[in-house]
Structure 1
Amino acid sequence: MQDFSKLRFVSDLVNESAISRQQYLVYILCFVLVAVDGFDTAVIGFVAPAIKAEFGLGPHSIAILITAGLLGAITGTSILGPAADIFGRTRVMLVATFIYGGLTMLLGTLQSFEAILAVRFLAGICFGGVLPCAIALTAEYAPHRKRSSLITAMFCGFTIGSASVGFIAAWMLPVLGWRAVLLTGGGLAILVGALCWALLPESLQFLVARRPGHKSIGHILGRIAPAALKAGWVPQPDAVPEGRPLRALFEARPMGGTLLLWLSAFAALMCTYLLANWLPVLLTQEGYSVSKAAVVTAMFQVGGTIGSLSIGMVMDRRRPNRVLGAVWAGSTFALGGIALFTPFPIAVAIAVFFAGVCIPGGQIGSSAYAAAWYPTQVRTTGISWMSGIGRAGALVGSLVAGGLLALGLGMQMIVALLGIPMLLGAGAMFLHERYVAPEAAGPETGSI
């Protein structure tokens, strides 16, 4: 019989125990949640040309529409991430899912571009809260030995959801129109949110730290480690930081390490969102049909899914920051391939696929890295602020793409220039080497 007296914290129990069915249920439900989040986040890039045509808008309207959602997401990450460290990961994540699902359905009924911009901004606020909560929840139910693999596998739901938009939009847009695509995405979010409300537990580490007497602790403990509950084992709570969330974040981990993570997220998400949202537009300007451009762009998310799974497994066996740095440095070859082979659809689809393997695949890996690096008491805040800075990069990328197009630059030059921020992100991850064993503000030191 296992000696539970040697274990102090929930993380110790999770690390020393086999993965239970309850933990696998958490991973699966988070996967499904972020899949619909990915669908509704990416959908605007695919329906934007149709919205532009219906309302007779100018050439900058797509940039404005994409920017509205990004501004909302930046706002949401700065608010909802810290809120999840106070009120709970599951509660904040599901409320955000219900709201953005309803708002996405509302988008499909609006009759003015100004109303669409306002509602997309509000929906973006909720988008900003789902992913950080899902990452934190998965990390806190995952043993250190498989944390990167499990987080990246869960995060694949986002890339699969994003990729599915391309295939669904390619079929629905010519037949049912852009409004049907939005109604479908919003309805799925509400249905999945209702399922998770019934089945998804709160983080046990969060409850022990913030609600030590909560009645759910014993129930969840009995589901993931019934022998520990039977033996009367009581986990000790992590220290809860005082003060404002951002101050607590810098007290929990060295400022230099956090700033490097922000730089890497800014660079990677700048490139990810620029390609995901602008590639359909750039390809159509190069003579591709709308359907062909949607399929080629979907390969970016397919590559991200395969890349994240592979990168996560390697990160569990090698220095994760070195893995990420090497992957992002290697992305420059894929970007060069897109620029070089633009006239050849099959070749450019292959290059887009490998760009997806490296760029969003690596970005997913960096989220797993951050989840391991930050301790429980500020984990969602750390992930959400990193995501918020990254989305600021996405906003800059969208504005830069619009500006470069206005200057007359073609697709080849715009894509080639993305190699610069990716090299900066790679450098930031290599420099994070000095922070791989930081002093933790609390008992949990993480797995890196």
Structure 2
Amino acid sequence: MDIRQLIDTSRMTSYQWFIIGLACFLNALDGYDLVAMAFTSTSVSEEFALSGAQLGWLLSSALIGIGLGSLLLAPLADRYGRKKLILLALSIDLVGLTMSALADSYGELLAWRVITGIGVGGILACVTVVVAEFSNLRFRGLAIAIYASGYGLGAAACGMLAAQFIPDYGWRSIFVIGAVLTAAALVLTIFTLPESVDFLRSQGRDEKVRSIAHRIGVREAFTITPAGPAPQKSSLSEILSGPYLSTTIRLWIAFSLITAAFNFANQWTPKLLTESGLSAQQGIIGGVMLSFGGTIGSLIFGALTTRIDARRLLTVFSLLSAVVLVVFISAASLPMIMFATGVAVGMLLNACVTGMYTVTPQAYPTALRTTGVGSAIGVSRAGAVLAPIVVGYLLDAGWSPTALYVSAAALVSLTALALIGVREYTAPREAQAPVPASVG
């Protein structure tokens, strides 16, 4: 049996689950980094006297960086290895967080948030693929869900820390904490994360493949079928031609719609709830509820993929998200109901993001997988970046929070249409070993 088939069909070992746990921790850091600006927005706005439009750009700055990181760093991972690029991305992230804490002007903070986002974008593209490649078929959906749940955990932790630390230590303390955690993650990754087996076999490094296979607990005899040569140039053009073009465009549209609604809700909810008449503290609690719900949603989605096809499940969750977004803002005058609904909003939207991370790697062969995921994340940043910026201008123009949430609901409901026709990639038997299939 080929090593890829063996990993797909063998039971998950403790070391494989450790890799999933490490990926969850890295995603938690990404969640922390991305919402840090949302939870510090009130304090930052007061210090730098920001308008709604300026705050919108600041909230989108890290998302701009994610687009750049995903598009520029992800193809390098297919050429030089997943682990090397994760370490590079963590280093960039660390620099961005450290300098954000030291920024003494709006322009400086904006620039360093972009740098932070570049690191996060590289981490997202690479770690998503690592999770898929080190999990078996039965638990792949659940493994990706556990990984994705880290975002909600990190975002919720950021909100709770912001409520505790900002009053006494100021908004900069949130970025200092993020930098310390990222430094710890960098060291942990260096010593514990193995290189991708699929990448190594595409490089013909058979001895390294056998070493890592032994490390993750593979004891059976296996063959090593080449996964196809690693691209010598950027493989972005390859996913935009031939049989991949239609799938790529559909995934880009779906990812863009989901991330636009997701980042709108996560970045603007604390501020928009105060605009609806709630206190600043209630606004933060509302944001934390969304983040907490996100963790639950990822795990529920992963559990359901053991029985239901991930693509069908993603379609259902996107339609439900649209409904709950409207209910959430409509209940703003009833805080307890609104908080409970906020958990549902976070749960469904994060489940949709988890679904995109589950479906996208399956649509491409090994040699194009990180490029496919990275490009989808990168292109989706257009919607993710524009959403907070446009909301800032619309808020200055007099739009109500209700109108903004209804618009977001309309966007996320269109995801179901974009996903029509997306299918799992199946390699020709004589050319390549099977690519991971969906769970369910």
TM-score scaled by length of structure 1: 0.93
Q: Are the aligned partners of 2:52 and 2:395 in contact in 1 as well (CA < 8 Å)?
A: no
Does residue 444 of the first structure (1) align with residue 434 of the second (2)? Answer: yes
Q: Are the aligned partners of 1:267 and 1:393 in contact in 2 as well (CA < 8 Å)?
A: yes
Does residue 278 of the first structure (1) align with residue 268 of the second (2)? Answer: yes
Structure 1 range deviating more: 43-52 or 214-223: 214-223
Question: Which of 66, 81, 85 is matched with 2:78 structurally?
Answer: 85
Does residue 330 of the first structure (1) align with residue 320 of the second (2)? Answer: yes
Query: What is aligned with 2:395?
Result: 405
Question: Which of 115, 120, 123 is matched with 1:130 structurally?
Answer: 123
Counterpart of 1:174 in 2: which secondary structure?
helix
Query: What is aligned with 2:282?
Result: 292
Does residue 267 of the first structure (1) align with residue 257 of the second (2)? Answer: yes
Residues of 1 paired with 2:329 and 2:30: CA distance?
30
1:262 corresponds to which letter in structure 2? W
Cα deviation, residue 199, structure 1: 0.9
Residues of 2 paired with 1:443 and 1:142: CA distance?
16
Question: Which of 134, 144, 148 is matched with 1:151 structurally?
Answer: 144
Question: Which of 360, 366, 371 is matched with 1:370 structurally?
Answer: 360
Structure 1 range deviating more: 190-199 or 56-65: 56-65
Counterpart of 1:400 in 2: which secondary structure?
helix
Residues of 2 paired with 1:189 and 1:252: CA distance?
40
Does residue 422 of the first structure (1) align with residue 433 of the second (2)? Answer: no
After the TM superposition, which residues 251-262 of structure 1 pair with which residues of structure 2 at under 5 Å, given as runs?
253-262=243-252
Q: Are the aligned partners of 1:268 and 1:360 in contact in 2 as well (CA < 8 Å)?
A: no
Counterpart of 1:73 in 2: which secondary structure?
helix
After the TM superposition, which residues 304-315 of structure 1 pair with which residues of structure 2 at under 5 Å, given as runs?
304-315=294-305
Counterpart of 1:374 in 2: which secondary structure?
coil
Does residue 204 of the first structure (1) align with residue 197 of the second (2)? Answer: yes
Does residue 96 of the first structure (1) align with residue 89 of the second (2)? Answer: yes
Cα deviation, residue 437, structure 1: 5.9
Does residue 20 of the first structure (1) align with residue 13 of the second (2)? Answer: yes
Question: Which of 367, 370, 373 is matched with 1:383 structurally?
Answer: 373
After the TM superposition, which residues 41-120 of structure 1 pair with which residues of structure 2 at under 5 Å, given as runs?
41-120=34-113
Cα deviation, residue 46, structure 1: 1.1
Deviations 1:35-74 (A, max 9, x none): 1121112111111221111122333221121222221111
Cα distance 1:17–1:59, how it changes in 2: closer, same or farther (>3 A)?
closer
Counterpart of 1:303 in 2: which secondary structure?
helix
Residues of 2 paired with 1:368 and 1:86: CA distance?
22
Cα deviation, residue 252, structure 1: 7.9
1:147 corresponds to which letter in structure 2? R
Cα distance 1:436–1:375, how it changes in 2: closer, same or farther (>3 A)?
closer
Cα deviation, residue 247, structure 1: 2.1
Q: Are the aligned partners of 2:29 and 2:181 in contact in 1 as well (CA < 8 Å)?
A: yes
Residues of 1 paired with 2:387 and 2:104: CA distance?
28
Q: Are the aligned partners of 1:17 and 1:225 in contact in 2 as well (CA < 8 Å)?
A: no
Cα distance 1:381–1:300, how it changes in 2: closer, same or farther (>3 A)?
same
Query: What is aligned with 1:175?
Result: 168
Q: Are the aligned partners of 1:254 and 1:438 in contact in 2 as well (CA < 8 Å)?
A: no
Residues of 1 paired with 2:309 and 2:50: CA distance?
49
Deviations 1:282-328 (A, max 9, x none): 11122222222111111112111111111122223222211111111
Structure 1 range deviating more: 186-195 or 312-321: 312-321
1:51 corresponds to which letter in structure 2? V
2:373 corresponds to which letter in structure 1? I
2:307 corresponds to which letter in structure 1? R
Unaligned runs of 5+ in 1: 1-6
1:71 corresponds to which letter in structure 2? I
Does residue 217 of the first structure (1) align with residue 209 of the second (2)? Answer: yes
Cα distance 1:143–1:307, how it changes in 2: closer, same or farther (>3 A)?
same
Query: What is aligned with 1:342?
Result: 332
1:193 corresponds to which letter in structure 2? L
Cα deviation, residue 241, structure 1: 5.7
1:166 corresponds to which letter in structure 2? G
Q: Are the aligned partners of 1:274 and 1:398 in contact in 2 as well (CA < 8 Å)?
A: yes
Cα deviation, residue 184, structure 1: 0.5
- Measured on the aligned residues, the alpha-carbon RMSD in Å equals 1.8
After the TM superposition, which residues 343-362 of structure 1 pair with which residues of structure 2 at under 5 Å, given as runs?
343-362=333-352
Residues of 2 paired with 1:144 and 1:252: CA distance?
27
Deviations 1:161-196 (A, max 9, x none): 112111111111112110111101111111111111
Cα deviation, residue 32, structure 1: 1.1
